[in-house]
Chains A and B, each alone.
Chain A
Amino acid sequence: MKLGRYQIKLEKKSGFTGWQAAVISIVAILFALFLVGFIFLQAGVDPALGYQEIFSYAFLNPFGLPLTLNRAVFLLFCSFAFIVPIRAGLWNIGMAGQAYAGALGAFAVALALGAKGSQTPSLPGGALVGLMILGAMLGGMAVGAIPGILKGKFNTNEIVTTMMINFIMFWLVAYMIKEGGPFMGSGGEGEGFKLTESVRPPLFKDTPFTLWVSLALAALLYILFARTKIGYQIRAFGSSPAAARYAGISPVKISLLVFVAGGLLAGLAGYHYFAAVPGLYKIPKNYGDFGDLAFYGIICGLISQGNPLASIPLALLFGGLTNGGRFVQGKLQLGFGIDYALLGVVMIILVAFQFFFRYRIILKKAEKEN
């Protein structure tokens, strides 16, 4: 392409390091924030003020920060649920459904063992919390296994199956918590029942213990892919299914494994938000919002290039932006949807900037045409 006296050339890069990717991502975020600045201007708000409000509420405010963290943890579990299958070359779009399944699993345990409302459960709290987590994991795994088996045995498109299961699970939750459903709360306002005091897990350093679980999982998953046999087999399958098959790796085993693992991780996301976050301890009326949030896990997973450690800052950023965006919208009386606009622009720009992972642009003086 020519631009005045200069010629612009694209050159394919042979590869990129983690640091280059990080720098490119940061530049992309700054550029996106610059663009969204125009939306603020158009609304008559100084962009600097807008961003100051967003970030100070999201990351410094004593009320805002816990909200950010809770969302970030939810997102982080969802990104793991996306990352594990994507390393095998398979797309998990079903984090929302798997998270719902996790929540249902946990609350089913609570209901069965009498941890509903003001009842006194038959088991000590610690044991019950353990069982609820187990229930969440099993719920997520069961729902994850379906696309896994369909993919492995019949090569059914996993994007379609995981996506469709999301709808099924959404309405299953609705059935369970609404009027007449087994998980219905006492008020009958379309909410789930509240957990008994004793099964509300204790906070650890003023944050839900699931935060620390998610960070530990990031490290574990990183090691899984870098060092272990099963991690190697997943990566081999993801890089080249034909070569993996040649090397004796079973496609059925890998497909099932990554989707069951993905379901498990998303199930933990459901447990985290509905059973471990202070002030909630129930499946709320607006549970669908969390399903929407789960989709940001895809973006975190894609931008981090499947690296579970790199998705930590991304989950924090997106958690903070959804949270701060909503706050600033109220405080500065901006039009509806500024938080979504902000997220949308950040994501599109981040994805678009991935171009620079693969190409570099060279500017040189054009030769004279003869």
Chain B
Amino acid sequence: MTDIKHGDIVLAAKGITKRYPGLVANDRIDFEIKAGEIHAILGENGAGKTTLMSILFGLVQPDEGEIYAFGKKVHFRSPLDAIDLGVGMVHQTRKLIPAHTVLENILLGHPKAGTILDMKRAGEEVAQLCKHYNYPLDLNAKVWHLAEGEKQMVEIFKALYRGAKVLIMDEPTSALAPPETEKLLESIQVMTRDELAIVPFITHKLPIVLAVSHRVTILRRGQVVARLDTKQSTEQSLAREMVGRDVIFRLERGKAARGRSILRVENLSAFDDKGAQALTDVSFDVHEGEIFGIAGVSGNGQQALAEVLAGLRKAKSGRVLFDDAEISHLTSLQRWQKGIGYIPAEQRTVGSIGNFSLVENMLMNYHFDDAFSKWGFLNEKKARQLTEALIAEYGVATPSPDVKARGLSGGNLQKLILARVFSRKPRLIIVNLPTQGLDVGATEFVQNKLLEARKSGAGILLISEDLDEILALSDRIAPIYEGKFMDVIPAESAVRETIGALMAGLEKKAAA
């Protein structure tokens, strides 16, 4: 590390172009990162971030353009070449082995681990590294015991121990609770003092970009549209460059008449897929014209709750009442017919069928509707008309309703799913991570649609890990941690820090 001076260009890409059939993912992209710098790459979904990141890490070879590492032209044939030259990658979905210890995970794939494994010495070296960055990490703990933020640090230390001088981070804060995010940002700022170069790729958490980065490169439709010094930018200016138009950050929640209780949940408990208790004794109700927000980091029982309410998972105990009638025993089909709409977090695997056309996807919520079939034959004409109308109304960007849903971007697919569910005019909408992975423009659209539905009198159960979203939309907020509600707080008296602490499992009293 000694031969790198502050401000040296450690990694540079010149004129990177990558074409895929029917699209130019990267169009003559120039990018450079200096030692000791945090240089964020910002862009909406489909702007070409993933392609660029894969090229910088050697996963994908560019069609044109050159990469320079430490001033020398290099040719990454695979990630191994990149790692050997000091480029490390921290993936969004952690690629760690849960049943192994932290140390074992850090050593996995290390060249030294191939021949003679001196665990003791390696352990000391890693411990030294942790100490240097002032991040206490129990090297003998099994990875599955760790919190998300700690797992991410394991990945970072893994890269550092292999000698990384450039760290590429894919959506580094997407799975973290607010206190964990702060801790992470602190740690990476410390690292830049050792002349490490850090390249976070970010879709929509603009405040984070502003808080820690030195420079920002913004991509749109595969091209670099702006290179900015962070000091001279604002959230608005970044968003404008990213989306290509002005974005209003303040949502107008307005007043909606809170009606009577439409959903009542009593002492609900449920297991997850592995048979572990996911939800414990949860009780609440949702009123008409109300958004009830459940704030929590994913994996704290929200998924099980949403599935039980949608009729896709059996409850262990407890009751669910819709419109004052018990629905615990009803199938998902019966719940759709009663007017309960569910927008799942898994857009691609549950909310849509990739190799079905958009019309066929629309039928997912209409095949059981008598108005859409006669004598067992589906009324295709009617389904097509409905699809075309909804595509127009919701602004789904697609050449035709006959393309496969697989080809839609995340934002467009979510618009389609929203259009499909909302068009049934459900009286209760259960919506899980509605803007996860969406870019700024699509997020704004989805959130406005939720507010519209609230205004028209639907009860909405909003599950989200984005605290800003919860605060902007909800009338009441329930932070959830390890399957239990920590509290239920009316929006008027909600304090951001308190909710953030409750999401992270800190007791109410300690946080106050």
Chain A residues within 8 Å of B, Cβ to Cβ: 11, 14, 227-230, 232-233, 235-236, 239-240, 242-250
Q: Would you give the shortest CB distance from B381 to chain A, in whole angstroms?
A: 12
Scan B322-357; emit 1 where CB is below 8 A from any A CB, else 0.
000000000111001000001010100111111110
Q: A14-B21, A229-B376 are in contact. Are A240 and B332 (CB under 8 A)?
A: no
Q: Select one of A235, A236, A242, A248 contacting B349, CB under 8 A.
A: A242
B378 touches A246 (CB 8 A): no
Contact in complex: B377, A229 (CB < 8 Å): yes
B365 within 8 A of A: yes
Partner of B380, one of A227, A233, A235, A243: A227
The answer for the CA separation of A244 and B368 in the assembled complex, in Å, is: 12
Docked-complex contact A236 and B350, CB < 8 angstroms? no
Residues of B in contact with A (beta carbons under 8 Å apart): 21, 310, 312, 331-333, 336, 342, 344, 346, 349-356, 360, 363-365, 367-368, 373, 376-378, 380
In the bound assembly, the distance between CA atoms of A92 and B360 in angstroms comes to 26
Identify the closest chain B residue to A236 (Cβ): B353
- If A233-B367, A239-B355 are given as contacts, then 15 extra A-B residue pairs at C-beta distance below 8 Å, sorted by A number, are A227-B377, A229-B367, A229-B376, A229-B378, A236-B356, A236-B367, A240-B354, A242-B346, A243-B350, A246-B312, A246-B364, A248-B332, A249-B333, A249-B367, A250-B331
B332, A246: Cβ atoms under 8 Å?
yes
Ordered by A's residue number, 9 sampled pairs between the chains whose C-beta atoms are within 8 Å are: A228-B376, A229-B367, A229-B376, A230-B376, A232-B363, A239-B356, A245-B332, A246-B332, A250-B333
State how many angstroms separate the Cβ of A139 from the closest Cβ of chain B: 26
Chain B residues, CB < 8 A from A228 = 376-378
Chain B residues near A239 (CB-CB < 8 A): 353-356
B464 to A: closest C-beta gap in Å: 19
Partner of A236, one of B310, B364, B377: B364
B377 touches A243 (CB 8 A): no
User: Which of B336, B351, B364, B373 contacts A229 (CB under 8 A)?
Assistant: B373
Do A240 and B349 form a contact, CB below 8 Å, given A232-B363, A247-B365?
A: yes
The 9 A-B residue pairs whose C-beta atoms are closest, nearest first, are A248-B333, A247-B364, A229-B373, A239-B353, A246-B350, A242-B350, A243-B353, A240-B353, A248-B332
Instruction: Please indicate the chain A residues that have their CB under 8 angstroms from the CB of B342 in the complex.
Output: 246
Task: Say how far B354's CB is from chain A's closest CB, in angstroms.
Answer: 7
Which partner residue on chain B sits nearest A11 by CB separation?
B21
B349 — which chain A residues lie within 8 A by C-beta? 240, 242-243
B88 CB to closest chain A CB, in angstroms? 27
Query: How near does chain A come to B453, taking the closest CB pair, in angstroms?
Result: 19
Contacts of B354 in A (CB 8 A): 239-240
Complex: chain B residue closest to A15, CB-CB: B404
How far, in angstroms, from A66 to B354 measured CA to CA in the complex?
44
